[in-house]
Structure 1
Amino acid sequence: MCYCERTSMTSHPPPPLEATTMTTPGVPPYVPAPPTNVNLDYADLPTIDLSKAKTVEGRKQLAKEVVDAMTNQGFFYIINHGYTSEQTKRMFDIANVPFEHVSESEKQEYLAAIKTNGSYQGYKPREYFHIDNGVRDQVELYSINRDVTKRKHPRIIRPLLPEIEAFAKHNHFNILHPVLRLLAMGLELPEETFVKTHNFEAIGESYVRLLKYYPRTAEDEEKSKNVWLKGHTDIGTVTLLYSQPVSALQVLTSDGHWKWVKHIDNAIVVNAGDGMESLSGGYYRATIHRVVQPPRDQQEYTRVGLIYFALVDDNVKLEPLSESPVLQRVGIKRRFDEDKTPTMEEWRKARTAAYGQAVLEKVGRIEEERLGNGVVRHYS
């Protein structure tokens, strides 16, 4: 059932690397924090100029850079992704709307069925996740399926759905698909290998996530050791995180140290998740990252986030692509037993339902939970 006025949901992508233009309704501006002046230990992450992906030679060069990033740092930046700074700012204004301009009573009508359906579509309220020592989270999420008509939305969001849909399509066709082609090339597979399993109109849960972190009490910061979201990997294949100025994201480096991810204006931070690690036979590792209390000059600000989470189609089994010449040379690391490999749907539902709710078993600095045939690890 369609709940809203909508644009055409065809399988055709928008114009390459150009954002859709349209008449837009007014939205109260979100004023972000100024960048921090604190000297932080930043991770040294590569920057990929996506405009170079237009040519064969450009893709060959970028594929080498992406392989290096995904097998070493785990994160990289994308620039020249097709949205101007003004268009990105507009999307951050929209990202703030579900939290500041929807009443608490109306939010209750649109809660996500996280535990019952294993789906984040809708609101995740604050204090849903347990962090540590009785401390619960202070992040509010609103997740919208790439098909924005999948479910009903709060009244004030409905006029914004054409823009959100255009944003989802732009991320899917103009950013995700080029990245997937580079990842396929890195495995010496046909360029369209991953693209074929990331269909915009297939059954699945690739989605736009809007989020907002709120400051916590000094007592909660002490009890949780300043950790806002424990170290974890993402569920899907590729995550596209639009950089914003509040420093809080950290990546666990290969030598076991947490390093900060630096804000770059109008850049996208990219990482791989469980799905990509599984499909690539461990060649592209799911990136371990966490969210912590911002530095002292940003601790009074809220932190609005804008993300596109990509997952393969629900019916795809998370089996390594063993036909890859690269995997045949370096070997395959399986995440699941060969005869018990879940589909993307089975894995996302299990992880979504359990996250922040399950009792974890401590193994040194790592906490583990078993989900069917897989193990999920959380990092302090």
Structure 2
Amino acid sequence: MPARTVPQVRRWNCPPVTRENVDWAQLATIDLARARTPEGRAEQVEIARDAMHKQGFFYVVNHGFDLAENQRMIDIASVAFEEVDDEEKARYQARIKETGTYLGYKLPQYWVIANGVRDRITHYNFPRNVHDRNHPEALRPYLPEIQEMVEFTHCTILHEVQKLLSLGLELPENTLSDMHPFDDTNHSFWRFMLYDPRSEEEERKTEGVWMKGHADHMSFTALWSQPVTALQIKDHDGQWRYVKHVENAVIINCGDFTEYLTGGYYKSAVHRVIKPPADQEGYRRLNLIYFGYTSDNVVLRPLLESPVIQRTGLTKVIEGEHPTMEKWRKTRTAVYGVSELKKAADGSEYEIVNGVKVTHHH
């Protein structure tokens, strides 16, 4: 068969990796190629289980999406920010509070970071089926490729990870992946995300924090690794550490929905974005992210049939009524970053959403 002809796209020049001496988080790596044999699969199950229990973050490599395809999607992502004018961005702006979804543009200055400083983050969000809504004209030629990457991330990467994590709970391997079908009951979404540099005054007022520490409310997040060092996780010992760039790797993080689904056994990872090291100052940070949800009708009850959860007991429970995924995702999305926060004794801020204390870390 002849190769498919794809539209040309301007190259996005990724910055060089940092050479600064920073404190790196030691994250586990899941090798999906090794998971194809019975012996390798047992090994990867153990690695995935322990990493999600301890840190809530791990890398995935050898997933089948090559480096050239990754670079092209970065190039396509830049179109959303470089080739769509402000007027058209405004027309496609997301109605986040009204709809409880991010679909469309989240424009800068939406979230308050600290001391009156608002964010410098733009993102454009696609539904799981990108053809379910209209998009800016400049992005339309690339929709088939975006849809392919969405489906690949959901069905090839996340489903395989979910199978490993189900086995880690000593459950049938399809337990978690069956909760995440690639169909119209599922409202997972794809994001192109751009961080622009800030002024020295804004950096001083926010102590260099670009996005406050938080845990994702989704079930799983798949973040394609990129070279600007700014992502940090709050490690298992309570220290903030940088997440190192691994070329063509996907960083999987556990969200709050999965933490409550597993009674606290799998930990939702607290993470933040801060000013990059000195040798990367001034660079724009461009991300590819897939946010995974279960079907909307899944009720957030702990998987008590898991022998692992039976042995360890429940450490995270929801007080009161168990929400469905639909209620969970819409409520958490609508209020995040715009509701009034309460102060905790440790200096962090929090809000109560769906009976859950949602903490914002500095």
TM bracket, shorter-chain basis: over 0.9
Contact kept in structure 2, 1:360 and 1:367, CA below 8 Å = yes
Structure 2: which amino acid aligns with 1:179?
V
Post-superposition CA distance 1:60-116 (Å, at most 9, x none): 111100111111122111111111111100011111110111010001111111010
Post-superposition CA distance 1:302-337 (Å, at most 9, x none): 000001111111111111111111111110133312
**1:60-99, aligned counterparts within 5 Å?**
60-99=42-81
**1:24-35, aligned counterparts within 5 Å?**
24-35=6-17
| Structure 2 residue 141 is the aligned partner of structure 1 residue 168 | no
Partner residue of 1:340? 321
Deviation of 1:203 (Å): 2.1
Q: How high is the sequence identity, in percent, across the aligned residues?
A: 47
Structure 1: which amino acid aligns with 2:217?
I
**1:23-172, aligned counterparts within 5 Å?**
23-172=5-154
Deviation of 1:352 (Å): 0.7
Q: Using the alignment, how far apart are the partners of 2:142 and 2:314 within structure 1?
A: 44
Q: Using the alignment, how far apart are the partners of 1:285 and 1:354 within structure 2?
A: 22
| Structure 2 residue 269 is the aligned partner of structure 1 residue 280 | no
Q: Using the alignment, how far apart are the partners of 2:255 and 2:62 within structure 1?
A: 23
| Structure 2 residue 356 is the aligned partner of structure 1 residue 374 | yes
Q: Using the alignment, how far apart are the partners of 1:234 and 1:151 within structure 2?
A: 25
Structure 1: which amino acid aligns with 2:339?
A
Structure 2: which amino acid aligns with 1:182?
L
Deviates most, 140-149 or 199-208 = 199-208
Contact kept in structure 2, 1:53 and 1:178, CA below 8 Å = no
Partner residue of 1:269? 251
Instruction: Report the secondary structure of 2:222's partner residue.
Output: strand
Instruction: Report the secondary structure of 2:203's partner residue.
Output: helix
Deviation of 1:204 (Å): 2.7
What is the TM-score normalised by the length of structure 1? 0.93
Structure 1: which amino acid aligns with 2:335?
A
Q: Using the alignment, how far apart are the partners of 2:194 and 2:161 within structure 1?
A: 27
Structure 1: which amino acid aligns with 2:13?
V
Number of corresponding residues: 359
Q: Pairwise CA RMSD of aligned residues?
A: 1.1
Q: Using the alignment, how far apart are the partners of 1:276 and 1:53 within structure 2?
A: 22
What stretches of structure 2 of length at least 5 have no aligned partner?
A: none
**1:176-195, aligned counterparts within 5 Å?**
176-195=158-177
Q: Using the alignment, how far apart are the partners of 2:59 and 2:175 within structure 1?
A: 23
| Structure 2 residue 297 is the aligned partner of structure 1 residue 322 | no
Identify which of 173, 190, 206 aligns with 2:188.
206
Deviation of 1:23 (Å): 2.2
Partner residue of 2:341? 360
Partner residue of 2:274? 292
What stretches of structure 1 of length at least 5 have no aligned partner?
A: 1-20
Post-superposition CA distance 1:191-249 (Å, at most 9, x none): 00011110111323211110000000111111111000000001111111111100000
Instruction: Report the secondary structure of 1:228's partner residue.
Output: strand
**1:228-239, aligned counterparts within 5 Å?**
228-239=210-221
* C-alpha spacing 1:266/1:247, structure 2 compared with 1 (3 Å): same
Q: Using the alignment, how far apart are the partners of 1:369 and 1:322 within structure 2?
A: 28
Q: Using the alignment, how far apart are the partners of 1:57 and 1:236 within structure 2?
A: 31
Q: Using the alignment, how far apart are the partners of 1:113 and 1:335 within structure 2?
A: 31
Instruction: Report the secondary structure of 2:332's partner residue.
Output: helix
Deviates most, 256-265 or 70-79 = 70-79
What is the TM-score normalised by the length of structure 2? 0.97
Structure 2: which amino acid aligns with 1:295?
P
Segments of 4+ in structure 1 off by > 3 A? none
Q: Using the alignment, how far apart are the partners of 2:5 and 2:150 within structure 1?
A: 18
Deviates most, 310-319 or 198-207 = 198-207
Deviation of 1:160 (Å): 0.6
